[in-house]
């Protein structure tokens, strides 16, 4: 499946900003056997005084930009074409949960995909007793790790309510879990914390999700949004799998990966510092257009 992706993030400042520096993780990745970035361009307005491209530890493309002249708006615009490959059915070759620790002990690699990086607490995700207990409630005798992923994801989908106004980008996952509502970031970080509490390595994926309008309704330009889901290490044979708890589905070719990390802090689309006074507001527009 081919997709054309257009993303615009605009910032508006009440008073002109005299200086700012941002780190952007917006460019879709190339992942062997999963997806291929055919072409991509990331532009900024105004033009920055500094512009530096790099790749972080987890293999995510980064663009660092710095502004030193007064400006009251900033705009980041992505245009990309991505090919996503049809996913093969996931065969459940994962061990029972009680056997996962032994398989983890056999992994000697500490590269970016090593499961050991995704086991403990990270910047946004802390193992909490209440989320661990919730996950344990969905473990059945002899259940495999992949079976747990699906059981826990379906439970979160059933027990939580999607509410775009319920949380903010810095809301603690424990608070969202207590209130049982939130957005895809909350669903994903809660699931990560719950899995890590049982000793299952889990990470955070940011990206885009193709959406389909209701039957008979036109597709609205800019109606899509950036999305988040979970990747889970299910043992040596099965490896990493991706699950979308917001929609209770295994990830397929409708999900387009931008960045992978331990939690939102590792993959934040825009992160930076700004010298200014007064208020600011932002708007996001995303279009994911299938070409096939």
DSSP letters spanning 209-272: E---PPTT-PPPTTBB-EEEEEEEE--TTT-EEEEETTTTEE--TTEEEEEEESSHHHH-SEEE
Taking only the tens place, the pLDDT of each residue in 191-220 is: 999 999 999 999 999 999 987 766 766 655
Q: Is the distance from CB of 197 to CB of 127 less than 8 angstroms?
A: yes
CA distance 179 to 88: 36
String of DSSP letters for 57-95: TTS-EEEEEEE-S-EEEEEEEEEEEEEEPPPPPPP--PP
Are the CB atoms for 292 and 86 separated by under 8 Å?
Answer: no
pLDDT at 214: 65
Note the pTM of the prediction, 2 decimals: 0.94
Structure tokens at 195: 């899995």
pLDDT of 17 higher than 90? no
Measured distance CA(27)–CA(145) in Å, rounded: 31
Phi, psi of 58 (to 5 degrees): -85, 5
Beta-bridge mates of residue 94: none
Q: In the predicted model, what is the mean pLDDT of residues 276-292?
A: 88
**Greater model confidence, 152 or 254:** 152
Residue 188 has phi, psi (to 5 degrees) of -70, -45
Q: Which domains does the chain have, with CATH numbers?
A: 2-85+269-290 (2.60.40.2250), 97-267 (3.10.620.30)
Q: Mean pLDDT across the chain, nearest whole number?
A: 93
**H or E element that contains 136:** helix 129-136
């Amino acid at each position: 499946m081919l997709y054309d992706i257009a993303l615009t993030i605009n910032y508006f400042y009440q008073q002109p900003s005299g200086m700012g520096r941002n780190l952007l993780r917006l460019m879709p990745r190339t992942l062997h056997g999963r997806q291929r970035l055919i072409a991509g361009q990331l532009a900024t307005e105004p033009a920055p005084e500094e512009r530096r491209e790099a790749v972080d530890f987890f293999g995510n493309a980064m663009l660092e930009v710095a502004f030193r002249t007064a400006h009251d708006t900033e705009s980041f615009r992505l245009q990309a074409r991505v090919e996503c490959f049809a996913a093969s059915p996931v065969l459940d070759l994962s061990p029972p949960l009680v056997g996962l620790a032994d398989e983890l002990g056999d992994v000697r690699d500490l590269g970016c995909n090593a499961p050991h990086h995704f086991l403990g607490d990270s910047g946004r995700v802390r193992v909490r007793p209440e989320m661990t207990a919730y996950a344990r409630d969905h473990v059945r005798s002899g259940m495999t790790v992949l079976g747990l992923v699906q059981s826990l994801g379906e439970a979160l989908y059933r027990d939580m309510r999607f509410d775009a106004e319920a949380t903010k980008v810095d809301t603690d996952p424990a608070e969202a879990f207590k209130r049982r509502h939130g957005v895809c970031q909350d669903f994903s970080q809660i699931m990560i914390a719950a899995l890590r509490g049982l000793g299952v390595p889990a990470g955070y994926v940011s990206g885009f999700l193709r959406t389909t309008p209701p039957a008979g309704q036109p597709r609205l330009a800019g109606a899509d949004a950036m999305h988040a889901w979970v990747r889970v290490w299910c043992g040596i044979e099965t490896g990493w799998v991706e699950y979308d708890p917001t929609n209770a589905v295994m990830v397929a070719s409708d999900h387009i990966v931008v960045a992978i990390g331990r939690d939102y802090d590792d993959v934040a689309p825009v992160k930076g510092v700004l010298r200014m006074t007064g208020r600011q507001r932002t708007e996001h527009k995303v279009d994911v257009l299938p070409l096939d």
